[in-house]
Structure formats: C-alpha cells, structure tokens
Chains A and B, each alone.
Chain A
Amino acid sequence: MPVMSYINAITLAMKEEMERDEKVFVLGEDVGKKGGVFKATAGLYDQFGENRVIDTPLAESAIAGVGIGAAMYGMKPIAEFQFADFIMPAVNQIISEASRIRYRSNNDWSCPIVFRAPFGGGVHGALYHSQSVEAVFANQPGLKIVIPSTPYDAKGLLKAAVRDPDPVMFFEHKRAYRLIKGEVPEDDYTVEIGKADVKREGEDITVITYGLAVHFALQAAERLAEDGISVHVLDLRTIYPLDKEAIIEAAKKTGKVLLVTEDNKEGSIIGEVAAIIAENCLFDLDAPIQRLAGPDVPAMPYAPTMEKFFMINPDKVEKAMRDLAEF
C-alpha cells in the first residue's frame, strides 16, 4: 500500500472524485494554476482545466454562496477557503443558507457542497492564520463537520463528503499536511461520516480527541506504555454529528476520560463530548472528566513563546494522561 502525506491524500481524493463524477468541481482563491497556497489542489488545473478548477476573487461570501447555488442546481462543488480564519465573511451563507436548505424546503432541495479549509496552529500564523473554527459551526444542525487525523481517513472521508447529499465542512490541520504520513489504498473507498475510530486499544485511561492532537495522544500513549499504563485513544473524526455510541463505549471502557482539543476550552466541541459522557456514564466513571485545550483567549498569538503556550503538544498530553491515571 502506498505511503503518502495527509495533503497528498486530500489531493488524491479530489482527483478521483473529479474523474468519477464530472459534476464535481473546485473553486477558491489560488486553487487553479498555483494549486492552492498549500498545494492541496496541485495538478487538478492541468488535468481538469479552468472550468472545473476555478480561481475566484477574494470574496469568501461569494465562494460559499455561489457554491451553494451550484449545489442546489445539480453540481457538486468543493469550495476551498484558503485558511479557516478567512471563512468568517462566508458564515452567513454557510449557517443561514447551506445548513437550512433541506429543512426549509420541506426536503425538496438539497445542498451537496463540501467546504474545505486548513485550520490550526503551530506554524506561527498568528491571529488570522492559526485558528480552530469548528465550534462556530458545530452548533448548527444541518452541517456535517469532518476533521480527519490520518491520510487514510482524509482520503476516505473527503470522498464520502463529496458524495454526501448534504453540506459538509471539511477541516484539515495545516500542520498535519506534510508532517503526517500513512498508508493509503490505491483503490476507491470511503470512510463513513459520523463514525469515530479507535486509534489505539487500551485499558487504563481513555483519550478522546481529533485532528492533529490524535497524533500527540498516540505519542504520549507510547511513553505511558513504557510505565505500564495502557491508554485507549478514540479519534472523533466527525465532530458533528458526534458518534455518541463510540464515545460512551470508550468512556465506559476505562472509566477515566481525558478530552483534548486545540480549540479554546470554553464552548469547544469537547464540552459537548463531556456532556454526553456525563449523561450516560455516571456510574462507570472513576475520575472527573478532564479537558485539555487551548486557553480562552481570542486568537493564537504570534510570538513563539506564546504560541507554544497556546498549542497542544505531546508533553502536555502526557502530563494530563499521567495525572488522570494516578487519580
């Protein structure tokens, strides 16, 4: 099985879906000849031409809105936002329009669009190139929100997102793009949206997380294994709708749960995960549910010292795991 980077798996998913279905097209800023600022659409312009790989003006509201219109009228757009931070002008179109089209039209209309955006910090992007924005959308039923952690999941979930009859937000951790590599099958496959995945089986404590933090949890779990502490790692993969069954099962398995996100702690998706566990696992818990997250400040700061303070890393996850294991 070929080994490829996270970003190459994303490019491959788009390429295969565009080959499979001529209704699939890509639009966004610099996605054409340049192949995107991170090169996620590299090669697609040469293969599919300017009518299916479309450079747009710098107008996110229009990227979303025009994509929504095309989706309602029979096309399958993949709209790229250059950075998740740039999505804010498009929030009206995504939340007020895309998420409600099926509901408000008595199920007569649908909006099969994928909104892709790189998110997350650790690259000194500072205030407008580092944020986690998923919680903004996770309070909006009607949108599915996918955040893969591995190349395998990225390809399978993006293909599933393109084929999904409803709008899907697909957030890609920009630090993972070239850092994370893994095996990706050459054949056509999809990964079901809404299903979490056990990335490591363990008995003593459970870590539930998503995105790049999955890898930090797995690295920390290796360290704890040397001391005989067995860590169970659940990768949410889809953060809306959450896989409640998998969350409950993972929490009950060890009775000690650590939730990790790079987003600000308060109001983040892990608060909802904690609520699911609290509602369903009261008599199975052996420790209070723990959360490890970014600090509650408006955006990720620039200075290396402060960015490091903000970001999740394997050391922070390891410490939180050890504290929980000792509880």
Chain B
Amino acid sequence: MTQSNENQSSVSVEKLKWMYEQMVKIRYYEDQMVEVYTEGKKPVFNIGAGTVPGEMHLSTGQEPAAVGIGAHLKKEDTVTSPHRPHHHAIAKGVDLKRMTAEIFGKETGLGKGKGGHMHLFDPEVKFACSGIVAAGIPHAVGAAMAAKMKGKDWVAVAFIGEGAANAGAFHESLNLAALWNLPLIVVVEDNAYGISVPKKSSTSVDSNDKRADAYGIAGAYVKDNDPIAMYLAAEEAVSRARNGQGPTIIEIETYRYLGHFQGDPELYRDKAEVPGLRELDPIVKLKEKLIEKSTDEKELDEMEERAKQEVDEAYQFARDSNFPAPEAALEDVFTS
C-alpha cells in the first residue's frame, strides 16, 4: 500500500511543521553526537575511551519513521525501541537532558548512568529500550494488552529494524497481538542492513508488511523514506488500534547514512551508496514542501534555531553532570 499525492496534500501544515522541527532536532542531535563521540578517541580509535565510551548506533537518515508515527502518539501511548533509539526517543518526547546525560553515563541520566545509549527508559512518556534485538516487541504487546485491560484507547508501538523481523519474538508477538486484537503497531525500519548482512540475505520476503497476511492483520509499506507517507500510514494504523480494530505492521524503506556503529569501516557496502542516499534527504524534501505550502522561511529558521538550542542545552547539561559514585552500581537491584 502506498499513499497517493492527493492524500499527501491532506496533511495539515501544522503537522508538517511539527515533523520538520522534530527531524531537524534529531538530525542535529545525531550530528552533534558524531563530534562528541570522537572526543578522547584519537589518535587510535578506541570505542571504550572518551566523553561517550561504549558503542554508538546513530539514526541519521532514519528520522521519517520516528516522526511519522510520533505525530499521532499521546503521552500515554507506549513506544519500545531497540539499540538505535535516539530518533524514537526524541519524537516521543523523552526528556532530552536526562537522555543525553544517560548517554554520557552521568548520574543525572534516565537510568543514573547504568544503561547508556542503548538503554533509555522514560516512564513519563512510556518509552523503553532493549539492547537485545526483537526483545521489545513482546513488551509492546504487553503494553497494548494492559491498555485494553484498563479500557483505555492507548496504543503501543514497537520499533524494530528489518533484521529483527526474523527473530522468533516477532512472530510470537504478532500472532498474539492478532489473536487478542490488541492496539499494537510494529514499525519495521528497513535500513537495508542488519549490521553487515543485506536484507535479501536474511529475509525470505521482500518486505515485512507482507507477513501481515500470515497473522490476518493489516500491513502497510512506505517507500522512499517519505515522512508524509509514513504519517499517513501511521494515521491509519493508530486509528485502527485506538478503535479496537487490531494490530498493523508498517515497513518503511529508510536509509542509514552512517555505519552500524560509529567506527564501522562499512566494508560490506559500496562507498558510493551513502552520498546517493543523502541526495534523497527527507529533511530537505520536507522543507521544500513547507516552502511550497507558503511557510515563511523565517519561521523555519526559528524552528531550526529552537531545536538546536534545545539540543545544545541537553549536551551542556550532560557535560556539567557528575559521574555516579562507584558504589551506585549496587543500587536499584530490588525495591528499597
């Protein structure tokens, strides 16, 4: 299923602006992280050294999936996210300062420095991660089940990469969500590679929305990393879920501009691939669309400035925060 141009023009300018500002914020956040991440890792690259020690999986280029669905979500809706979570977190409204502090391993972080960038948890906006591929899908099913049991119209969204759609947890979860008619949306971000392995070498179907037939649920496919098409597919899916009409799988063709992790030599893909992808940049295209719709360029500039300021403040907050005391490692095992 793809969206027609006619449908595309039905999206309000306000929603387009919201998506644009979020995408700019996500992109700027990740661009800053590219810089910060290299601090202390020179001259010899060492993942475990520097301001942000540990692995780093950035979402640059994958903004449309997060904002297209984020535009329809309420604070009470659940999002689960995998090891590449920054865009999902930002679009869900996770506290940016505490998120950044967590990525820096600081005591003011969402998890007081225990988790790092793959393990962001913000109960305020019902956002959770797991560093284990596919582990978050059943949790989203559980959240959808809880919403239904409580009689609420809340929905649950599980973001996964295309690689996770081959894990048992994907199939077990979708069968249950379909069987129990739960308000679940699984968003498969197809960025073409599971680390190094291309989708065609790991997946028996060309797109995972086709697997919806196996569970008797709705499927939608969004091509060209298009945020507006994602918005429209998500609108249908969220509406279906809120109205008790069951789960949806949305697969979006998206692009990973950077390596699987920062420092990835990317020997598995053609060097010419990424510059080609960047020419199709969804942020540029959405900005053109907004200008076409007579949005004042000054207003767009202000949105960009606002987003950047928020990000800059979050990074400064993280830098200014302290590391946790070593003995804090012993805390939070059981309730105290």
Task: Kindly specify which of B4-12, B195-203, B206-214, B302-310 makes contact with the partner chain.
Answer: B195-203
Instruction: Give the complex CA separation of A32 and B166 in angstroms.
Output: 18
Bound-state Cα–Cα, A52 to B197, Å: 16
- Report how far A59 CA is from B130 CA in the complex, Å: 16
Other A-B contacts than A125-B54, A302-B119, 12 sampled, CB-CB below 8 A, are A30-B194, A34-B196, A57-B163, A58-B133, A89-B167, A125-B55, A126-B115, A303-B114, A303-B323, A305-B323, A306-B113, A306-B324
Chain A proximity of B250: nearest CB distance (Å)? 19
Q: Does A124 contact B (CB under 8 A)?
A: yes
Contact of A89 among B119, B168, B196 (CB under 8 A): B168
A173 and B118 CA atoms in complex are apart in Å by 22
- A19-71, CB < 8 A from B: 29-30, 32-34, 37, 55-62
Tell whether B140 is near chain A: CB-to-CB under 8 Å: no
Which of B23-31, B218-226, B326-334 is near enough to bind chain A? Answer: B326-334
Query: Which B residues are CB-close (under 8 A) to A295?
Result: 329-330
CA–CA, A61 to B167, complex, Å? 8
Q: Complex Cα distance A34/B326, Å?
A: 37
In the docked arrangement, what's the CA distance between A243 and B69, Å? 57
15 A-B residue pairs with CB within 8 Å: A34-B196, A55-B202, A60-B167, A85-B131, A123-B48, A125-B54, A127-B116, A127-B131, A128-B119, A297-B333, A303-B114, A303-B116, A304-B323, A305-B323, A305-B324
Q: Taking A30-B197, A58-B167, A302-B105 as contacts, is the C-beta distance between A309 and B131 under 8 angstroms?
A: no
Given contacts A29-B194, A34-B268, A59-B168, is CB(A128)–CB(B131) below 8 Å?
yes
- A contacts, CB < 8 Å to B: 29-30, 32-34, 37, 55-62, 85-86, 88-89, 122-129, 295-298, 301-310
Q: Confirm or deny: B36 has a beta carbon within 8 angstroms of a beta carbon on chain A.
A: no
Contacts of A34 in B (CB 8 A): 195-197, 267-268
Majority-rule SS of A interface residues: loop
- The CA of A310 and the CA of B328, in the complex, are separated in Å by 10
CB proximity of B294 to chain A, nearest CB, Å: 46
For A127, the chain B residues whose CB sits under 8 A away are 114-116, 118-119, 131
Cβ-closest chain A residue relative to B171 = A59
User: How many residues from B make CB contacts under 8 Å with A?
Assistant: 45
CA of A59 to CA of B134, assembled, Å: 9
Distance between Cα atoms of A304 and B49 in the complex (Å) = 9
A-B pairs, 10 with minimum CB distance: A128-B131, A303-B113, A57-B166, A302-B116, A309-B326, A303-B105, A124-B54, A34-B196, A306-B329, A124-B53
- At the interface, yes or no: B132 with Cβ under 8 Å from chain A? yes
Q: How far is the CB of B36 from chain A (nearest CB, A)?
A: 15
Decide yes or no whether B71 CB sits under 8 A from chain A: no
Report the Cα distance A289→B105, complex, angstroms.
36
